[in-house]
Structure 1
Amino acid sequence: MKTPTITAAALLTTVTAGHCEQLIVNSYGGPYEAIIMERIIKPFEDKTGISVVYDPVGSSSQDYAKIKATNGRPGFDVVVMTASQSLDGCKDGLLEKFTSATVPNLEKLSPAINKIAGECGAVHELQYMSLLWRTDKLKAAPSSWAALFDSELKGKVILPTFQNIMAANLMQVLSVKNGGDLLNNVDPGFKAMAQLAKQSVGFEQSSAVMETYVKDGQVWAMPFWNGRAQLLVDTGMPVDYIKPAEGTIPLIATLNVPVGTQNKEAAMKFVNFFLEKSSQEAWVTGYKVGSARSDIDVPDAVRAKQITTEEDLDKLLLPDLSIMAAKLPEWGDRWEREVVHAAN
């Protein structure tokens, strides 16, 4: 989650009071902020002479709500959101469309991933829904989502609420695993989730809260975004994570530029810089995520855990996000009736 610090209005005052070219970038706080400042923003400032004001306020959905409420003039120039908001923003005419002329490095990204985010989203990182487990608790390392249903994990699993997109994604993966599909025949997915709910100690919306269950040993396995999972591994926690054999769904993070920005040229420069080969290499190794560029050079240990090659991309399950967005309200109601009810 992004952490509130200072309002965009206050930041805008800071920018207009200065004399050099400045850019307001809205993104996340916590470890993300330290890494992006070191590996992306400082090198961008050094290369271009453009001063960046960092704004870690609001979640992706809150940021898009602000863009919508201000008719594309939210007070920041570049924002980190996801492919879902990118598609909505394009449809609503509130985000700038990127082209190879304005952002040349778009041509270096995987066409399949780029297409998912639409014309208004520049994919700067990929995470995937991994299976995270306590290495000191399970008898054997899991290889499949089926491990979550094992008897040894009865009462040792935590699930996301439907407000966390991991819930829908896990349902979709289990749907495919059990003979259904990602969008139109998801009955097998809901049936499997109702069964899994009986294994669970409950539901939590926040990834940060979910990980506390693993840290204190109350939970031994759960779905979790791999970037956060790797950060846990790096702390020395007795945990590990995998891309299960049946496949998984990516979290596609995007850079976006609201249509009302007053610093459009600088914003496009920042987006293009973030997509540079060297920038992607720095970001992947620093934040422990994947890239839509398959030509990056990263250590084998990083490559083994991240999405960094065309082969990795080909193994992902990629739902049509526009169709999925339309189905989410219905799925949310069904989740409460079938999955939450099964846990009670």
Structure 2
Amino acid sequence: MTTRSLLACAAAVLGVALAAGPAPAQEKKTLTISMWGFNGDKLEAYLFKPFKEKHNVDIVLETGNAGDRLNKVKIRGGGVDLIYLSDVFAQVGLEDKLFEKIDSSRIPNLKDIYPAAQAPLGEGMGIAYTLGRYGIIYDSAKVNITSWADLWKPELKKRVSIPGFNTTAGPVTVLVAAARKNVDAYANPDGAFASLTELKPNIVKSYNTGSEMVNLFSTGEIVAAAAQDFTFPQVKAAVPTAKWADLSDGAFATFNTVSIVVGTKNKQLAEEFINFHLSPEVQKNLAVAGTDAPANMKVELTPEQAAPWTYGAGVISSLKRIDYAKLNKAKPDWQDRWNDVFGK
């Protein structure tokens, strides 16, 4: 056999050996998620770590308040796969066309989510993974609260707190004030803000974070506050006589949503993550750990486990819904009026 033939045979053998060798390892994917920074240890234990292990992926978190994170996505035009938002900011993201449509056929757990939470932004634009309430927390040792109007009681002068206007729930307080006067806040903002002017003597301070409000309770500066119910466990821990008010005129529904950011290169992985977050096991673990109320109807909690949460079909169906499209359009005018009332 000639040298040329030997080289050809060697090349052929080498080629076969290379072809039969192991395929190169698939590159590990990374899922980038924009969300709040609180409860990170619990989310890692019950949501992130199990998902990473199941799907062999890395998760990168971008944390901060909802407004800043949403603005970052809008300016940057990408770099995030999933974004978690409160409903008022989710509506802004929807109007700014920042969300990719979710393929609901890839979210089998969606069928078990409370109907009100399945598509609060419209079909496929975002799913509410938890539900909450905007109502009143009060110290039952010092006052009794049974309706929104009780916040205006003269005996509560300088003993009440409300959220600042630029918080998630702040503008909803305008709706509360309007209802007290039996007026439409959108058609008659003068009436709504006249009602807020009457509330002003009772406001010792507005708050911009839940921790600020908890501190006002713990120091005894306030005996009642308009608040979202996710803050109630912390208030209760600081003031054992604190109660969540059973309001005759009803609390407002609030949603925290998860949406897929337009332009993501990991859409199917993002959908798998959403489905995982909506699973009964994950939803229950997070509820019991004190992170979020479950949106999955299959989750069963004991009365003690359910106590802090907006939980059960009866409670959820009783809540008043907010038209965030209308509210967001009214906000610039309302903010000027709010500053006229409370900025002096």
Shorter-chain-normalised TM-score: which range? Answer: 0.7 to 0.9
Tell me the SS of whatever aligns to 1:126.
strand
Deviation of 1:238 after TM superposition, in Å, equals 4.4
Question: 2:94 and 2:140 mapped to 1: Cα distance?
Answer: 43
* Higher mean C-alpha displacement, 115-124 vs 267-276: 115-124
Deviation of 1:325 after TM superposition, in Å, equals 1.0
Q: Aligned residue for 2:13? A: none
Change (3 A) 1:76 1:106: same
Q: Aligned residue for 1:133? A: 138
Give the aligned length. Answer: 318
* Higher mean C-alpha displacement, 124-133 vs 141-150: 141-150
Deviation of 1:100 after TM superposition, in Å, equals 1.6
Q: Aligned residue for 1:7? A: none
Render the CA deviation track for 1:230-260: whole Å, top value 9, x for unaligned. 1332456543323422112222111122122
Q: 1:68 aligns with which of 58, 74, 83?
A: 74
Q: Aligned residue for 1:249? A: 252
Question: 1:313 and 1:173 mapped to 2: Cα distance?
Answer: 19
Q: Aligned residue for 1:99? A: 103
Change (3 A) 1:102 1:85: farther
Change (3 A) 1:34 1:329: same
- Percent identity over paired residues: 22
- Segments of structure 2 that go 5 or more residues without pairing to the other structure are 1-25
Question: 2:193 and 2:173 mapped to 1: Cα distance?
Answer: 10
Deviation of 1:198 after TM superposition, in Å, equals 1.2
Q: Aligned residue for 1:325? A: 328
Render the CA deviation track for 1:6-42: whole Å, top value 9, x for unaligned. xxxxxxxxxxxx9523322222223x21221122112
Deviation of 1:91 after TM superposition, in Å, equals 3.2
Q: Aligned residue for 2:64? A: 58
Deviation of 1:270 after TM superposition, in Å, equals 0.7
Q: 1:223 aligns with which of 223, 226, 233?
A: 226
Q: 1:336 aligns with which of 330, 336, 339?
A: 339
Change (3 A) 1:269 1:235: farther
1:162–1:335 Cα contact (<8 Å) kept: yes
Tell me the SS of whatever aligns to 1:165.
coil
2:84–2:257 Cα contact (<8 Å) kept: yes
Q: 1:284 aligns with which of 278, 282, 287?
A: 287
Matched, 1:303 2:310: no
* TM alignment of 1:28-47, pairs within 5 A: 28-30=36-38, 32-47=39-54
Q: Aligned residue for 2:55? A: 48
Q: Give the superposed CA RMSD.
A: 2.5
Question: 2:35 and 2:259 mapped to 1: Cα distance?
Answer: 11
TM-score of the pair, normalised by structure 2: 0.83
Q: 1:79 aligns with which of 78, 83, 96?
A: 83
Question: 1:58 and 1:65 mapped to 2: Cα distance?
Answer: 11
Question: 1:193 and 1:289 mapped to 2: Cα distance?
Answer: 31
Deviation of 1:296 after TM superposition, in Å, equals 1.9
Deviation of 1:177 after TM superposition, in Å, equals 4.2
Instruction: Give 1 or 2 for the bigger CA radius of gyration.
Output: 2
Matched, 1:164 2:167: yes
Q: Aligned residue for 1:208? A: 211
Question: 2:220 and 2:37 mapped to 1: Cα distance?
Answer: 26
Question: 2:119 and 2:145 mapped to 1: Cα distance?
Answer: 33
Matched, 1:293 2:296: yes
Render the CA deviation track for 1:162-200: whole Å, top value 9, x for unaligned. 112322212213323442346445555433321111111
Render the CA deviation track for 1:135-166: whole Å, top value 9, x for unaligned. 44x1x442222332233321111222211232
Question: 2:192 and 2:118 mapped to 1: Cα distance?
Answer: 27
Deviation of 1:310 after TM superposition, in Å, equals 2.4
1:90–1:97 Cα contact (<8 Å) kept: no
1:100–1:107 Cα contact (<8 Å) kept: no
Change (3 A) 1:188 1:309: farther
Q: Aligned residue for 1:13? A: none
Question: 2:59 and 2:314 mapped to 1: Cα distance?
Answer: 36
Tell me the SS of whatever aligns to 2:104.
coil
2:217–2:223 Cα contact (<8 Å) kept: yes
* TM alignment of 1:260-275, pairs within 5 A: 260-275=263-278
Tell me the SS of whatever aligns to 1:117.
coil
Q: 2:31 aligns with which of 19, 23, 29?
A: 23
Question: 1:306 and 1:272 mapped to 2: Cα distance?
Answer: 22
2:36–2:66 Cα contact (<8 Å) kept: no
Deviation of 1:102 after TM superposition, in Å, equals 3.0
1:154–1:200 Cα contact (<8 Å) kept: yes
1:124–1:253 Cα contact (<8 Å) kept: yes
Deviation of 1:133 after TM superposition, in Å, equals 2.0
Deviation of 1:318 after TM superposition, in Å, equals 0.7
Question: 1:288 and 1:102 mapped to 2: Cα distance?
Answer: 25
- Segments of structure 1 that go 5 or more residues without pairing to the other structure are 1-17
